[in-house]
Amino acid sequence: MDDHDVLARTLYGEAKANDIDDAKAIASVVMNRVGYKNWPDTAAKVCQQAWQFSCWNTNDPNRDRILNAHGPWFDACKAIAKDALAGGFYDPTRKSTHYHTRGVKPFWSKGRKPVYETAGHLYFNDIDTPAPETATEALNQMHPIGKSRTIQGATVAGVMAALGPVAGDIGKSLEQYAYLSEYIKWACAALAIIAAGYTAWARLSDRAKGVN
């Protein structure tokens, strides 16, 4: 597949269906990356760079869809790709190199304002995040494990497990609260168990949602 074919299929897989503005914006992002030295130097290489445009990921359901693309919308994507490669239209994204759907909040866009928006995506021209080198890096850019419910639950479980004996001993040292010592220990232990259960559930749930 050449630059035109790969770019057209990328637009077909990434852009919101039948949204010309979204497809043109994504085509602009691809061509902007081609123009920067820290990205590959052809549209095909940019589109198929590992873990960048998800429709090309081998485990993405969109991959079969783009490889078998056909119909009026694919014809429109081919026309947009042709114009983009020829420098035939204005870049509405103002030199953006990154975008994401409205349904996710990757760490690299935190605190940043999109310079362009479509019904399908938000576009950013001030991102300097390097391209990930592994699948784990790519996933962590989109869904940082440190901010996941798995880590939150594990943190609570760890704190409660450590706090129980300490709190109990403190209570025992205060004569007027000595009778509460065992209750405090058991309460903390119970919270630790609950948090551990939550951690296990969150881990399964996070993995199902694509959080590493």
In eight-state DSSP terms, residue 53 is S
If pLDDT is split at 50, 70 and 90, which confidence band does 104 have? confident
Does the structure show a pLDDT above 50 at 78? Answer: yes
What does the alpha-carbon distance between residue 190 and residue 185 come to, in Å, rounded to a whole number? 9
Q: From CA 20, how far away is CA 95, in angstroms rounded? A: 18
- Topology of 3-137 in CATH? Arc Repressor Mutant, subunit A (1.10.10)
Q: What whole-number distance in Å separates Cα of residue 195 and Cα of residue 68? A: 46
pLDDT digits (tens, 9 = 90+) for 172-197: 554 555 555 666 666 766 766 776 67
| 18-36 confidence digits (pLDDT tens) | 999 999 999 999 999 999 8
Half-sphere exposure for 150 (CA within 13 Å, toward CB) = 16
Q: Is the pLDDT of residue 75 over 80?
A: yes
Report, as an integer, the average pLDDT of 102-108.
Answer: 85
Report the pLDDT value the prediction gives residue 128, as an integer from 0 to 100: 73
Listed range (72-76, 112-116, 141-145, 161-165) with the worst mean pLDDT: 141-145
The domain limits of the chain are 3-137, 145-208
| Over residues 10-21, mean pLDDT | 96
CA dist 49 and 41 (Å) reads: 11
Cα–Cα distance, 32 to 29 (Å, whole number): 5
Q: What's the pLDDT tens digit per position in 160-171? A: 555 556 555 555
Task: Please tell me the predicted confidence (pLDDT) of residue 108.
Answer: 86
Q: What burial letters (b/e) apply to 55-93, b meaning 16+ CB within 10 Å?
A: bbeeeeebbeebeebeeebbebbbebbeebbeeeeebeb
- Give the global pTM: 0.66
Res 107: pLDDT: 82
Residue 207 or 105, more confident: 105
